[in-house]
Amino acid sequence: MAQNHLAVPFADAHGKNLTFFTFKRWHSNGKQEDAGFIQALNFLNYSIIIPVLKLEGNPYLEDLLRNLGQQSIKPEIVHLVVGDKRQGRAINYGVSQAKSEYIATLDDDSFIDDPDLFKKLLEEMAEDDQIGMAGAACEIPPWATPFQKKAMEEIERRSFPTQKKTIDSDMVQHPCLIMPRAFFEEIGGEDEELIRGLDPVLRKKVRDAGKRVVIVANTWVYHLLPPGWASLVKMYYRNGKGSGYAQRHFPERVLELSDGYDGGSFVEKHSFFYRLSRRLIKLMSSLVQGKWLKISTDLAYGAGVLREKCAPAKMQNIPTREGVESSPWTGWDFEVKVHQVKLKA
């Protein structure tokens, strides 16, 4: 019977100074040992932050909350931040309301079917204190439509396979990530000015602090693309506008994206000539291979960037937050709090 040690961090009242206690996990077929390990992991309480544009008519949210209720280690609380169009600001507010050791983010259309997802994430974070951010792979769900499957296969970074071992990766994203709360606050949290492109900025903050960004072994979530061509192209056009906005106002925060297998040797910037050449080569490759959905989304994204650069919209004039009304949402197996954001007119 072999044993492993789990270093469990506890923060002081201010969430800063961490003390480590050690629990033993015995690898055997005995249920007592496994239950004891889960009990130890329960000290690693976590909260989940989910930004939501609106509750009414949301087709995914209640299914997501039901799936969270099936987790072997349930969240201490789920904070739904509703109505704030700045994703970073919404997440930061949710974290400010959390008291747990760890905070996680999900999108309201994330889908979870592994009841041990957060147990695995917590275990990996606790066993390696060099990890600053951990996430799950993004698989194509078996119930995706043929259109969605094809789109997620053709378009880069829309899916990432489950890994057999934990790897350093640029594919950790908001549809499922977890971080120590004290560390999240220490590095300044989310960017509140960007409209799109928050993931790479948060990953950079973690790396700059000397911590690892990893996809945890044997973890996965699902995050589908829109079900039709028009809605898909519209999404990429909107994302392109958000990227154009960042390029105009915050060019230093526009960062490279990798295929996810960067192994920790991530390159943040390339020259304009390199990026233009790469885009042209990929476009030609897509034409040869007949990847029409990728071509459509690339063109839509480029059109969005050009639209924002040539005829800028007043996207920066999204109203500031005037106040937040918080209320409980009862009926779940864990605490859910709804934070309704009121924006200035």
Average pLDDT over residues 65-71: 97
| Element holding 54 (H helix, E strand) | none
pLDDT on residue 23: 43
Half-sphere exposure for 126 (CA within 13 Å, toward CB): 31
Nearest one of 102, 159, 127 to 25, comparing CA atoms: 127
Nearest one of 27, 35, 37 to 6, comparing CA atoms: 37
pLDDT on residue 102: 97
Domain contains 151: yes
pLDDT score of 28 more than 50:
no
Domain contains 26: no
Cα end-to-end distance, the chain, whole Å = 64
User: Dihedrals φ, ψ of 157, to 5°?
Assistant: 65, 15
Reduce the secondary structure of 65-120 to three states and give it as a string: HHHHCCCCCCCCEEEEEECCCCHHHHHHHHHHCCCCCEEEECCCCCECCCCCHHHH
pLDDT on residue 310: 87
Domain contains 115: yes
Count of structural domains, the chain: 1
Nearest one of 154, 156, 155, 110 to 136, comparing CA atoms: 110
Could you list the residue range(s) of the whole structural domain that residue 288 is in? 44-343
Domain contains 19: no
Domain contains 23: no
Domain contains 13: no
Q: What is the CATH number of the domain that holds 203?
A: 3.90.550
- H-assigned helices in the chain: 31-41, 61-68, 87-96, 117-127, 146-154, 181-186, 198-208, 229-249, 272-289, 292-310
What confidence tens digit (pLDDT) does each residue in 293-330 have?
Answer: 999 999 999 999 999 988 887 665 677 889 999 999 99
| Element holding 220 (H helix, E strand) | strand 212-222
More confident position, 43 or 302: 302
Domain contains 21: no
> pLDDT-derived band of residue 223, with 50, 70 and 90 as boundaries?
very high
Check: CB of residue 119 under 8 Å from CB of residue 72. Answer: yes
Domain contains 87: yes
What confidence tens digit (pLDDT) does each residue in 265-295 have?
Answer: 667 777 767 777 877 888 889 999 999 999 9
- Rounded to the nearest integer, the mean pLDDT of the chain is 86
Residues contacting 215, CB < 8 A, separation 6+: 134, 135, 136, 137, 160, 163, 166, 167, 169, 171, 172, 260
